[in-house]
Structure 1
Amino acid sequence: MRIRVNGQTLEVEAPTLERLIEELGFSEQTVATAVNQEFVRSKDRGETLLVEDDTVEIVTPRQGG
């Protein structure tokens, strides 16, 4: 399926946001997520289904100034 992740169009297999995070290699990191500009809590990612042309943001925290 084709979706946009952090501004980049990707072909992915993941049916849920949780699986997308795993597929993209973010599963070992603390991240914040949004689908179509709606924040998704970490506990809801496994139930958040993805569909063609969704827009996903995955943000990792950064330190420093």
Structure 2
Amino acid sequence: MNLTVNGAPHTFNGTTVTDLVAELNLTGRRLAVEVNREIVPKSEHDTHTLREGDTVEVVHAIGGG
């Protein structure tokens, strides 16, 4: 399916947010995921199904001071 990920076209072969995070090699990192301008809680990454044309933003949490 075709998605927009962080403003760029992306062809995706999975179904869930967890699948996308794995495909982007971001597993194990602290991040926030937004799908169509709605935050998807980490507890729902396994069950939130992505659909053709969705717009996804992935933001990395970076510690600092």
TM-score of the pair, normalised by structure 1:
0.91
Paired residues in the alignment total 65
Aligned to 2:15: 15
Amino acid at match of 1:50: L
Is 1:30–2:34 an aligned residue pair?
no
CA root-mean-square deviation: 1.2
Q: Structure 1: which 4+ aligned runs deviate by more than 4 Å?
A: none
Structure 2 unaligned blocks of 5 or more: none
Identify, as 1 or 2, the structure richer in helix: 1
Aligned to 2:57: 57
TM-score of the pair, normalised by structure 2:
0.91
